[in-house]
């Protein structure tokens, strides 16, 4: 028996937003091969009860992010108490970036995509090639968790998460791409439609969040997919970027059922966008927001404070961007140099100093928009970034948000 453990994100605004999609993909493949598996989501379990909750198993697997590494180590110890001869396996972004550093705490560390990793445990560090054809994957085993228990909503409707592609060709300096790579790989349109129909039939859910890094680069596929989605009577939210979208794209998205669009704006300063290799202009971002709103979409701006080059002046530029572009909603993150990204690898090149490598602090948003303090820019210390973030949050709250908000916003207005 394999127990797949979903770790909580204890600093998160809400760590019960989405079911553990990666583990559900792995469980789907294991079940296809006749290997029994369970998924245990510790987000719903009191910490004192974790040992009992993870139970007895021959193998325990976990997806690990930098901020949850310390929890994975804790759970691995509990697993060994439950079964001293068990095998512990970890994968995900942090193990992919720093496999050798964390290997002492686990039996196996998987680099890359994990669906076939359990067939490849020939060395402690298991390097998995990217799966060339995503259509060979089994559908996620959504029945192994109660997906209706999670909190994510789109326009007030209970929703769940899907992906239609993996990979991203862009070169943002803050992003780590070794998990899924720079080449875009896509599920077929038919596969996606079948998956959505199954979710509607099995769970009664007709709202979705699409977690692709890129959704529109292949326009032929994009238009074919949206045509099919328009006939399914669903609504969805997706992430986007202003590099590729046109007015027609936004109209096609709306007709397909898209009602919310989140742009990775990051900053209102061109200096910052150039420094982090966003390959987009402030004006493109403004126009994309306006066009998406004109098409009927609720637009959210993802913003980051504390990027390389950040100064009090660039923060003022971000405020002005919000006034000018007037997005409907916002989320403000603190920039964290996640292991493996270009800034992590060469902080001097980007003019930053990483002041802490305590990964417990490597979270971008929590509580009242707090974030970890692990980096100084050339002009601002981590403490000063924290102070400036509080001011920016105050400004953003006064600017206000429109449309239906996720529940955690209502708790932190």
* Co-location of 73 and 167 in the same domain: no
- pLDDT computed for residue 213 by the predictor: 84
Give yes or no: residues 113 and 68 share one domain: yes
| Same domain flag for 218 and 288 | yes
Residue 230: phi and psi, rounded to 5, are -65, -20
| 142 assigned to some structural domain | no
Measure the CA–CA gap between 322 and 65, rounded to whole angstroms: 30
- Residue predicted with more confidence, 291 or 14: 291
Is 139 contained in some domain? no
Final residue in a domain of this structure, among 133, 168, 202: 133
Task: Identify whether residues 100 and 191 lie together within a single domain.
Answer: no
Residue 196 lies inside a defined structural domain of this protein: yes
Statement to judge: residues 227 and 272 lie in one domain:
yes
Q: What is the pTM of this model?
A: 0.94
Are the CB atoms for 335 and 304 separated by under 8 Å? yes
Give the chain's domain count: 2
* H-helix or E-strand spanning residue 198: helix 189-203
Q: Please indicate, yes or no, if residue 265 is contained in any of the structural domains.
A: yes
- Look at 338 and 405; give whichever has higher pLDDT: 338
Q: Average pLDDT of 17-38?
A: 97
Say what the pLDDT of residue 243 is: 83
Least confident of 118-122, 201-205, 228-232, 316-320: 118-122
Closest alpha carbon to 240 in 223, 218, 262: 262
DSSP state of 254: H
pLDDT for 413 equals 39
**Cα-flanking dihedrals φ and ψ of residue 81, to 5°?**
-70, -40
Same domain, 281 and 406: yes
What pLDDT digit, counting tens, does each position of 61-85 carry? 999 999 999 999 999 999 999 999 9
- CATH assignment at residue 111: 3.40.50.280
Q: Tell me the C-alpha distance between 51 and 91, whole Å.
A: 21
Q: Is residue 271 part of a domain?
A: yes
Cα-Cα-Cα-Cα torsion 223, 229, 231, 237, nearest 10 degrees, comes to: -120
Q: Domain boundary residue among 64, 99, 133?
A: 133
CB 365 within 8 A of CB 337: no
Q: Does the pLDDT value for residue 300 go beyond 80? A: yes
Given this model, what pLDDT does residue 302 score?
Answer: 95
pLDDT at 384 exceeding the cut of 90:
yes
- 166 lies in the same domain as 67: no
pLDDT at residue number 166: 95
Question: What's the rounded mean pLDDT across residues 373-383?
Answer: 95
CA R_g for the chain: 21
Residues 178 and 297 in one domain: yes
Domain that holds residue 270: 152-411
pLDDT digits (tens, 9 = 90+) for 100-148: 999 999 999 999 999 999 998 989 999 999 999 999 999 999 999 999 9
For residues 183 and 109, membership in a common domain is answered with no
Residue 314 has pLDDT above 60, yes or no: yes
353 with 238, same domain?
A: yes
């Amino acid at each position: 028996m394999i127990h797949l453990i979903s770790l909580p994100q204890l600093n998160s605004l809400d760590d019960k937003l989405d079911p553990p999609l990666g583990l559900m993909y792995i469980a789907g493949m294991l079940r296809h091969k006749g290997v029994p598996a369970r998924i245990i989501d510790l987000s719903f379990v009191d910490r004192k009860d974790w040992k009992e909750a993870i139970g007895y198993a021959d193998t325990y697997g976990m997806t690990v992010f930098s901020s949850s590494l310390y929890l994975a180590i804790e759970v691995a110890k509990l697993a060994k108490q439950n079964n001293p001869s068990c095998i512990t396996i970890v994968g995900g972004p942090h193990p992919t970036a720093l496999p050798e550093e964390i290997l002492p705490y686990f039996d196996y560390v998987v680099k890359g995509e994990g669906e076939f990793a359990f067939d490849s445990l020939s060395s402690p560090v298991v390097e998995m090639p990217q799966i060339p054809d995503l259509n060979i994957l089994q559908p996620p085993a959504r029945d192994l968790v109660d997906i209706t228990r999670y909190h994510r909503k789109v326009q007030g409707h209970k929703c769940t998460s899907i992906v239609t592609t993996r990979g991203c060709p862009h070169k943002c300096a803050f992003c780590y791409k070794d998990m899924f790579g720079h080449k875009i790989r896509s599920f077929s349109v038919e596969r996606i439609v079948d998956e959505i129909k199954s979710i509607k039939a099995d769970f009664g859910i007709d709202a979705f969040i699409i977690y692709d890094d890129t959704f529109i680069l292949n326009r032929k596929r994009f238009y074919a997919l949206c045509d099919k989605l328009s006939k399914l009577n669903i609504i969805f939210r997706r992430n986007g970027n202003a590099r590729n979208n046109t007015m027609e794209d936004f109209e096609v998205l709306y007709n397909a059922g898209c009602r919310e669009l989140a742009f990775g704006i990051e900053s209102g300063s061109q200096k910052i966008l150039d420094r982090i290799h966003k390959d987009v202009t402030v004006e493109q971002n403004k126009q994309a927001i306006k066009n998406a709103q004109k098409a009927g979409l609720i637009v959210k701006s993802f913003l980051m404070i504390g990027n390389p080059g950040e100064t009090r002046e660039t923060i003022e530029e971000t405020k002005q961007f919000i006034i000018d572009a007037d997005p409907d909603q916002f989320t403000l993150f603190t920039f964290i140099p996640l292991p493996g990204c270009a800034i992590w690898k060469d902080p001097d090149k980007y003019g930053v100093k990483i002041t802490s490598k305590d990964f417990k602090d490597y979270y971008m948003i929590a509580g009242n928009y707090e974030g970890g303090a692990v980096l100084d820019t050339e002009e601002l210390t981590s403490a000063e970034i924290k102070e400036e973030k509080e001011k920016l949050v105050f400004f953003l709250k006064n600017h206000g948000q429109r449309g239906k908000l996720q529940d955690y916003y209502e708790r932190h207005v």
